[in-house]
Chains A and B, each alone.
Chain A
């Protein structure tokens, strides 16, 4: 069974731009979660989707948003990028409680 895939793997943007990251979960998994990892803040929960509904979200500004499609694929969007948004963004899919992570998207904001 194929694992979680994330695209793109690397991304460079400038301040003020917006970015969209994509996550394809493991086949059959309906839950997708997103995390931000930075050296200073560690791994922080962004949001979780199940059957196209956001069930929970972390403490991030409204510039961070996401959605899930009917095929369980998910996207997250960050608008008006700031230097502090530079991070590794990880996506995880789950059939229930156990989570399986993708390789991440490394975003650099210049």
Chain B
């Protein structure tokens, strides 16, 4: 099955810093999503991005499907950005979603 690797596993930033989170996947995928999990466990949709580049405020994401990776950029980080960021992909059938292990981000004030 598809393998999804996220890096780095942990990241500590000073408020205002920028960061790049990476997601590598082992096979062709039908879709790719980035999520932020808040301290209460809620998974919040950040991007649905099977290919290309999208931006939403301080966040942007790029997926290069042919090279099997996606990047999530966080600029001018804030303490509220803290939490776990997950990348999730679906196999080519599209009915089974595999999550990476996540990147745990802590932003210090």
Contacts and interface: CB of A to CB of B under 8 A. Distances in A.
Given A42-B101, A43-B86, A101 B96 contact: no
Contacts of B88: 43, 99
Interface string B19-45: 000000000001101010000111101
A104 B101 contact: no
B45 A100 contact: yes
B96 to A, nearest CB: 4
Interface string A46-61: 0010100001101000
Interface in B87-102: 88, 90, 93-99, 101-102
A5 to B, nearest CB: 12
A44 to B, nearest CB: 8
B48 interface: yes
Contacts of A97: 30-31, 48, 50, 90, 94
A52 to B, nearest CB: 14
Interface string A32-46: 010101000011110
Interface size class of B (residues with CB under 8 A): 20 to 34
A54 to B, nearest CB: 9
Which interface class (under 10, 10 to 19, 20 to 34, 35 or more) fits A? 20 to 34
Given A43-B86, A104-B42, A106-B41, A99 B99 contact: no
A48 B30 CA distance: 16
19 contacts: A35-B97, A42-B102, A45-B96, A50-B95, A55-B93, A56-B93, A56-B95, A56-B96, A90-B41, A92-B43, A97-B30, A97-B31, A98-B33, A98-B45, A99-B88, A100-B45, A101-B35, A101-B42, A104-B42
Given A48-B96, A97-B48, A101-B43, 18 more contacts: A43-B86, A43-B88, A43-B99, A43-B102, A45-B97, A48-B97, A50-B95, A55-B93, A55-B95, A90-B43, A97-B31, A97-B50, A98-B31, A101-B45, A103-B41, A103-B42, A104-B41, A104-B42
